[in-house]
Structure 1
Amino acid sequence: MLIYRQRFWLLACSLTIWSSACLLAQGTESNPQPAGWKLEKAKNGIQVYSRPLPNSRRKAVKVHCEVNATVPQLVAYVSGIEHYREIMARTVDAYVIRRVSDRELYYYHRSALPWPASDRDVVMHMVLSQDKTTGTVYIKADNVPGLVPEKKGVVRIPRWRSQWQIQQIGTNRLQIDYFFEVDPGGDIPVWLINSLIATAPYQSFSEIEKHVKLPYYQNRTFSFLHP
Structure 2
Amino acid sequence: MDSEQWRLEFNKDGVKIFTMHFPGSDFKAFKAETVLNTPLRSILAVMADPASCMKWVHGCIASEEVERGSFNKRYAYSVNDLPWPVRDRDYVLEISTQRDPSTQEVTMDMYAVDDKVPEKDQYVRVHQQETHYLFQPQGESQTRMTWLQHTEPAGAIPSWLVNSLIVDIPYKSMRALEKLANSDPYRNARIQYDDAGNVVAVETKVEQ
TM-score by length of 1: 0.78
Q: List structure 1 runs of 4+ shifted beyond 6 angstroms.
A: none
1:166, distance to aligned residue in structure 2 (A)? 0.8
Match of 1:221 in 2: 191
User: Residue in 1 aligned with 2:206?
Assistant: none
- Deviation of residue 201 (structure 1)? 1.5
Tell me: CA distance 1:39–1:138, structure 2 relative to 1, closer, same or farther (3 Å). same
* C-alpha contact (below 8 Å) 2:74/2:94 kept by paired residues: yes
Report the CA distance between 1:114 and its aligned residue: 5.4
1:206/1:225 Cα in 2 relative to 1: closer, same or farther (>3 Å)?
A: same
TM-score normalized with structure 2 length:
0.84
Q: Give the partner amino acid of 1:219.
A: A
Q: Which one has more relative contact order, counting CA pairs under 8 Å at least 6 apart?
A: 1
| Structure 1 stretch displaced more, 105-114 or 202-211 | 105-114
Aligned residue number for residue 210 of structure 1: 179
Query: 2:142 & 2:59 partners in 1: Cα distance?
Result: 29
Q: Does 1:63 align with 2:32?
A: yes
Question: How far did 1:153 drift?
Answer: 2.2
Identity, % of aligned pairs?
27
Decide which of 37, 60, 75 is 2:6's aligned counterpart. 37
Hey, what does 2:107 align to over in structure 1?
138
Corresponding position: 1:53 with 2:16: no
> How many residues of Structure 1 are paired with residues of Structure 2 in the alignment?
195
Cα deviation, 1:46-105, whole Å, max 9, x if unaligned, reads 000011112222221100100111111111212310233333455443111112212211
Residue in structure 2 matching 1:93, options 58, 62, 65: 62
> Higher helix fraction: Structure 1 or Structure 2?
1
* Equivalent pair of 1:102/1:222 in contact (CA under 8 Å): no
Structure 2: gaps (5+ residues): 201-208
Does 2:198 correspond to 1:193? no
Q: Provide structure 1 residue ranges, at least 5 long, that are not aligned to the other structure.
A: 1-22, 28-34
Q: Does the C-alpha gap of structure 1 residues 92 and 56 become closer, same or farther in structure 2, counting only changes over 3 Å?
A: closer
1:197–1:86 Cα change, 3 Å: closer
What displacement does 1:36 show? Answer: 2.6
What RMSD over aligned residues (CA atoms) do the two structures have, in Å?
2.1
Paired with 1:114 and 1:225, the residues of 2 have a C-alpha distance of 37
Q: Distance in 1 between matches of 2:137 and 2:26?
A: 35
CA contact (8 A) 1:72 1:222 kept: no
Q: Which amino acid aligns with 1:59?
A: K
**3-state SS of 1:215 partner:** coil
**Mean alpha-carbon deviation: is it higher for 144-153 or for 112-121?**
112-121
Which residue number in structure 1 is paired with residue 203 of structure 2? none
The letter of the residue matching 1:220 is R
Given the alignment, which residue of 152, 159, 163 partners 1:183? 152
Greater strand share, structure number: 2
**Distance change in 2, residues 1:225/1:70 (3 Å):** farther
